[in-house]
Structure 1
Amino acid sequence: MNKPVDPRLLQNAEAFADYLANTAARIDADAEAKALSQGKRVGISRPHESAALHVAGEATYVDDIPELTGTLHCALGLSPVAAGRLAGMSLDVIRAMPGVVDVITASDIPGTNDCGSIIHDDPILCSGDIRHLGQPVFAVIATTRNEARRAAARAKEVLQVEPAEPVLTPREAHEKGRYVLPPMHLSRSTNEGGARAAIDRAPHKFKTTFDVGGQEQFYLEGQISYAIPKEGGTMLVHCSTQHPSEMQHLVSHALALHANEVQVECRRMGGGFGGKESQSGLFACVAAVAAHKLRRPVKLRPDRDDDFLITGRRHCFWYEYEVGYDDDGRILGVEVTMVSRAGHSADLSGPVMTRAMCHFDNAYWLPDVDMHGYSGRTNTQSNTAFRGFGGPQGAIAIENIMDSVARKLGRDPLDVRRANFYGKGERNVTPYLQPVTDNIVDDLVGQLEASSDYRARRVAAAQFNATSPILKRGVALTPVKFGISFNVAHFNQAGALVHVYTDGSILVNHGGTEMGQGLNTKVAQVVAHELGVRFERVRATATDTSKVANTSATAASTGADLNGKAAQDAARQIRERLAACAAARHGGSKDDVRFANDKVQVNGREFDFSTLVAEAYMDRVQLWSDGFYATPGLHWDRESMTGHPFYYFAYGAAVAEVVVDTLTGEWKLLRADVLHDAGRSLNPAVDIGQVEGAFIQGMGWLTTEELVWHPKTGMLSTHAPSTYKIPTANDCPPVFNVRLFEGDNFEDSIHRSKAVGEPPLLLPFSVFYAIRDAVSAAGDHKVDPPLRAPATCEAILNAVTAVRATH
């Protein structure tokens, strides 16, 4: 007799079916079927290339690689204080513990004790000055992971330290003049006297400060490296990293080897979000140094708490700004100071601040602006890349300004935003002097405003609030303009290899890394489309520094743009050789040969792709090729902070509706409507998933994910899931409408698509400003709420209290 089905499972299954139906409704199935029949393989929704492996538990991550005989395990001994000096270590106690094989210190590093990504100011292991609580001081190598961890946990007992007073906040670092890099300044003047004069002349002005917290990447797969010594003193490192080439460089420097003696491989990551761009370097170097010394494989996988304590995250920012504006809410002049919590070393704080300043304008033309960026040196973990890479921190400041201007004028925030949108003529040049030639923001926002019933819902929220003294609703619409490319021009290059085997199967390898975002899927689609074959013929292999050299990080949303173009270049060369072979064998012109749906048409004949491949092999035609791509037209002057740093802009907008309990500070997202610009999407299903994920992740940054350091000791108190709260499925809105904007990229990107990794993380600004709108309703919209981000329940309650006290 069959057991009755648990009704909760049925309910979940029905909810999942509804979600899939909703997703399918956003994709034109008929159009995709027609495109497939015409031989297209891009612009088609298809599952992630490893989806079946993920579901079956067969997808291999670094920790799943079978361990070689003799593999040792590593754990890190961490500093118990945030600042001071390392006076000595009594490591014999550690060496005598069960299972311990060796203890590695800075003196055991044969090469350079540094893992700094740009500036060489970041030691692998502490050798003198203590930079932050949790800084690695020594590494324990043991026969099992638990034995290594038990020994490393005794660090506090064996380290002799001379503690000092730590500097922990960006504002404190700014007041003391402590920076990891020289300050940055970016100014643009269209009127005499610049921003200062424009503010002074403006009919309205105000000056205030704002705080935005950082964010932990919280990748599901933590940091991990598995180093295997090879013949001749060479080293193979399996590493969960977004930047294999940088890991190759760092390991080679630490071991005093040439780059060609170090191989780094990454098949896939269980998430990265920027946290594995530069910060995987320390783990790769420690594992490699131990493996090099002991001539045995060494694996280093810290637990989640140690991962939090060692690695950095999104930079938190403190802002001070003064704004001048007219009666319509147009910004006439603005001066802003941005101070980030860089942490103890430079890491990627320079590029992050540059991108923040280049995104302060967001979707708005600012005639006179004066920006100052400071990367504060603090005794905390060295902060690094995170999805958006400073762009969200820059853009949220101008959104806060727009929201405040609207409230001070008693106008709808959307009307104020629209009055400041980039336009034409002189109103289409950014503060860093790049023209915004592909501006679609007004059209996109107009479509979303209509489809989401924004105006009617604003009215309904006001009516609800008028009769509800405790619960308050808020509605907000915010736009996004996000620049795509690395700030540094030479990073915008990529290589790829494509092999066609004699049975017609195809292998592609490129310099990008797969972290769940579907990069390999899109690249395989590009190759399949170029060669006119089924997607199933193409397989993508692990990223490997011995295959494609000198690669850039998979970051800045450039993965598909760069690697897709490089793979297309390689596949196109093979296709042209095959076409020439077909014409030579069967007559006709090579330009008339057609490849589609696994068939080749030549001179009135049609035969299988694999048949032509076999013929080409017999004719000694090269069936593999390398491809290369470099983004055109990019330049940047670091001194003046002007130029053309972005190939194009991606746009988007979102409407959020929330309800806030003004007695407790609790809130709920009731509905979100999103319209995002992915250009001519390579894979609509993957891109919609990216937009949805970015929205929820960005919402977490701005609402629940609060980082707290002890104000005296510098201990990161929120270093585990028990204290650090990322959004869950329960935080997703019951109504979540996500659609892709119809339109090609103006630039010649891969099949006219647009990047979709980072830009949508700015869409949940709408959630923060909907909460701010609801808090403002508690004071009849007469008081500008002093709401900080993240808008935790405590922060919301504090803001409500302040609004009511002032009102």
Structure 2
Amino acid sequence: MSNHHVAKSQAELAELFRADITTGVGRSVKHDSADKHVSGEATYVDDRLEFPNQLHVYARMSDRAHARIISIDTSPCYAIPGVAIAITAEDVPGQLDIGPVVAGDPLLADGKVEYVGQVVLAVGANSLETARKAAMAATIEYEDLEPVLNVVDALRKKHFVLDSHQHKIGNSSAELATAPRRLQGSLHIGGQEHFYLETQISSVMPTEDGGMIVYTSTQNATEVQKLVAEVLGVPMHKIVIDMRRMGGGFGGKETQAAGPACLCAVIAHLTGRPTKMRLPRVEDMQMTGKRHPFYVEYDVGFDDNGLLHGIEIELAGNCGYSPDLSGSIVDRAMFHSDNAYFLGNATINGHRCKTNTASNTAYRGFGGPQGMVAIEEIMDAIARSLGKDPLEVRKTNYYGKTERNVTHYHQTVEHNVIHEMTAELEASSDYAKRREEIRAFNAKSPVLKKGLALTPVKFGISFTATFLNQAGALIHIYTDGSIHLNHGGTEMGQGLNTKVAQIVAEVLQVDISRIQITATNTDKVPNTSPTAASSGTDLNGKAAQNAAETLKQRLVDFLVREYKVTPEDVEFRNSQVRVRDLFLSFEEVIQKAYFGQVSLSSTG
């Protein structure tokens, strides 16, 4: 945009006013970084120019699953040229624990190690390779302790990171005892590695007065700000987090981006030098948690049609060595253990099992998939035992519209369209015909078999910790009509920034090319929630809408005063503004508002 735009006639402005809008909500707009991604020009943390005198950090990890630390000798580290510092738990100036919700995650192992991959010491040196050599030169003496490596063992021993929870409705034990048919079973549900393309990384620059600017790949800027402040023993206002884009997150950077950021910050604080830590892939996979594997036991009673009478499910999440987000993850597995089905008389127990493995963490779905896999396995087991089509058993147990519509956690299911959706999909997919064809094929094919399933999925959106369901945004309109937009969400490839910009473009009725979204930054929008729980656009988009509507209202109020018209006489459309019969460009309105001393900045 330029102040030297060519003045347009009223006829031209009127024509532009009536033209089609191309970039607002509901229109196809390419990702704001698409060209940069394709060309390789997108700047990630590792692409930033290195600071002069910068240190690189490598962490020495535990090679024991469970052991007492007898001694650590870091003196051999300093024999390697280029080494600036080697730190252990004793060197952390502030709080050692970086647990996101409850304690249990020491930044560096404190007296004992609890999994293979736990950080014991960290070295800052003039290159990553030098730091690695130095870290491996340190000598660590251990006394081995008995590890718990199996989720079933942990469940039997009641070896938990947090207390178990229960959801209960009706009388499951009585209904199980009298049900015409009954099945028991168990299953293991495996975990997954996030395998984001960009590994965990942070780059930290010390600032005056003991502060830090932290460039980090995180889904949760405010939490990194809080934890860096805590490990340094300073207030949060000393720490600024800057997060332009991530090379993928999938939940793996909701809490576990904090470790590298805090290690960098401690080393930068102790040396006064800029510090960077990028985890090599192998170290990233050893050090960080995965999706929670689950072990499930069930006892289910039903009739000859497959209708549930009573059910009891034990959901045991393998949390690893610390709580991390496991409390909420196992809760969400419990909330999803009905999926689309009326359980009637049910007892669901959720256990948070402690094992000597990396602390498992948020992962797309956040426990929901594990809960649904359990009940879907039960539906299939019932169908197999009765010789019925599994879809018939599923439909038999669907929630009803006005009855059989209360969940095992006592919520009434409203706006239920599962029956219509299933009927439509059955018809459009030729389900019955294809089942018959598969049955005929399988009867003649002794080795190769085919299958077909039509399975519902419930997806719970937003945070069960409801205080996290909030967001913020900041919008500036500059005097040339260009717009600066900042919000608390993080862009990890999902197109959040583009969607939020479209919302602002829609409210102000301008082309999206006017809007520049800048890096998520804690000194622009404070107290952000993590970008997680499929809520990033809803929360941050509404905050941006709120800010944009405030600005638009100020402009309308100004034009009403200036031109002695009513609010109904003012209309924004297509980067133009109609004031009764007069057409103004958006830039002209902004210029006039600035000279009229109207604030052109708002939070939302």
Q: What TM-score comes out, normalization by structure 2 length?
A: 0.95
**Structure 2 segments unaligned to the other structure (5+ residues):** 1-17
Note if 1:153 corresponds to 2:130. Answer: no
- Which residue in 2 is equivalent to 1:527? 504
- Which residue in 1 is equivalent to 2:455? 478
- Which residue in 2 is equivalent to 1:304? 281
- 8 Å CA contact retained: 1:222, 1:304: yes
Displacement, 1:420? 1.3
- 8 Å CA contact retained: 1:80, 1:134: yes
Equivalents in 1 of 2:150, 2:19: separation in Å? 55
Displacement, 1:446? 2.3
State the one-letter code of the partner of 1:44.
R
State the one-letter code of the partner of 1:184.
H
Partner secondary structure for residue 472 of structure 2: strand
- Which residue in 1 is equivalent to 2:87? 104
Note if 1:129 corresponds to 2:112. Answer: yes
Residues 227 and 415 of structure 1, relative CA distance in 2, 3 Å threshold: same
Partner secondary structure for residue 127 of structure 1: coil
Equivalents in 1 of 2:27, 2:440: separation in Å? 44
- Which residue in 1 is equivalent to 2:237? 260
- Which residue in 2 is equivalent to 1:119? 102
State the one-letter code of the partner of 2:165.
M
Larger radius of gyration: 2
Q: Deviations over 1:616-659 (max 9, x none)?
A: 111111111100xxxxxxxxxxxxxxxxxxxxxxxxxxxxxxxx
The partner residue of 1:451 within 428, 437, 441 is: 428
- 8 Å CA contact retained: 2:23, 2:511: no
- Which residue in 1 is equivalent to 2:247? 270
Residues 40 and 135 of structure 1, relative CA distance in 2, 3 Å threshold: closer
- Which residue in 1 is equivalent to 2:292? 315
- Which residue in 1 is equivalent to 2:125? 142
State the one-letter code of the partner of 1:79.
S
- Which residue in 2 is equivalent to 1:616? 593
Equivalents in 2 of 1:468, 1:36: separation in Å? 62
User: What are the residue-to-residue correspondences of 1:209-248 with 2, within 5 Å?
Assistant: 209-248=186-225
The partner residue of 2:166 within 185, 210, 223 is: 185
Displacement, 1:442? 2.0
Equivalents in 1 of 2:590, 2:415: separation in Å? 42
- Which residue in 2 is equivalent to 1:62? 45
Equivalents in 1 of 2:27, 2:456: separation in Å? 27
Displacement, 1:535? 1.4
Equivalents in 2 of 1:502, 1:441: separation in Å? 52
Note if 1:577 corresponds to 2:554. Answer: yes
Displacement, 1:586? 3.0
Equivalents in 1 of 2:302, 2:78: separation in Å? 67
Equivalents in 1 of 2:376, 2:66: separation in Å? 36
State the one-letter code of the partner of 2:263.
V
Note if 1:292 corresponds to 2:273. Answer: no
State the one-letter code of the partner of 1:72.
L
Note if 1:169 corresponds to 2:150. Answer: yes
Q: Deviations over 1:553-609 (max 9, x none)?
A: 111111011001000000001111111222223342123422121111221222211
| Greater alpha carbon shift after TM alignment, 206-215 vs 454-463 | 454-463
- Which residue in 2 is equivalent to 1:648? none
State the one-letter code of the partner of 2:541.
G
- 8 Å CA contact retained: 1:587, 1:602: no
| Greater alpha carbon shift after TM alignment, 467-476 vs 314-323 | 467-476
Q: What TM-score comes out, normalization by structure 1 length?
A: 0.72
Paired residue total: 587
Displacement, 1:120? 1.2
Equivalents in 1 of 2:576, 2:415: separation in Å? 38
Displacement, 1:438? 2.7
The partner residue of 2:466 within 489, 492, 495 is: 489
- 8 Å CA contact retained: 2:23, 2:29: no
Partner secondary structure for residue 471 of structure 2: strand
User: What are the residue-to-residue correspondences of 1:223-622 with 2, within 5 Å?
Assistant: 223-622=200-599
State the one-letter code of the partner of 1:61.
Y
- Structure with greater contact order relative to length (CA < 8 Å, sep ≥ 6): 2
State the one-letter code of the partner of 1:399.
E
Equivalents in 1 of 2:564, 2:423: separation in Å? 54
- 8 Å CA contact retained: 1:77, 1:154: no
Equivalents in 2 of 1:36, 1:401: separation in Å? 56
- Which residue in 2 is equivalent to 1:37? 20
- Which residue in 2 is equivalent to 1:17? none
Equivalents in 1 of 2:424, 2:392: separation in Å? 15
Displacement, 1:98? 3.0
Report the identity percentage. 48
- 8 Å CA contact retained: 1:510, 1:548: yes
Equivalents in 1 of 2:160, 2:19: separation in Å? 55
- 8 Å CA contact retained: 1:268, 1:515: yes
Equivalents in 2 of 1:376, 1:464: separation in Å? 44
User: What are the residue-to-residue correspondences of 1:653-672 with 2, within 5 Å?
Assistant: none
- 8 Å CA contact retained: 1:524, 1:540: yes
Note if 1:87 corresponds to 2:70. Answer: yes
Partner secondary structure for residue 81 of structure 1: coil
Partner secondary structure for residue 403 of structure 2: helix
Equivalents in 2 of 1:506, 1:350: separation in Å? 41
Displacement, 1:324? 0.8
Q: Deviations over 1:395-414 (max 9, x none)?
A: 11011111111121111111
RMSD: 1.4
- Which residue in 2 is equivalent to 1:791? none
- Which residue in 2 is equivalent to 1:731? none
State the one-letter code of the partner of 1:146.
E
Partner secondary structure for residue 316 of structure 2: strand
- 8 Å CA contact retained: 1:594, 1:602: yes
- 8 Å CA contact retained: 1:587, 1:603: no
Equivalents in 1 of 2:390, 2:288: separation in Å? 38
Partner secondary structure for residue 340 of structure 1: strand
Equivalents in 1 of 2:449, 2:69: separation in Å? 54
| Greater alpha carbon shift after TM alignment, 316-325 vs 199-208 | 199-208
State the one-letter code of the partner of 2:99.
G
Q: Following superposition, which runs of at least 4 residues in structure 1 exceed 3 angstroms of deviation?
A: none
Equivalents in 1 of 2:376, 2:359: separation in Å? 27
- Which residue in 2 is equivalent to 1:667? none
Displacement, 1:101? 1.4
Q: Deviations over 1:204-225 (max 9, x none)?
A: 1100101100111110000001
Partner secondary structure for residue 425 of structure 1: coil
**Structure 1 segments unaligned to the other structure (5+ residues):** 1-34, 628-807
Q: Deviations over 1:1-26 (max 9, x none)?
A: xxxxxxxxxxxxxxxxxxxxxxxxxx
Displacement, 1:245? 0.4
State the one-letter code of the partner of 1:168.
L
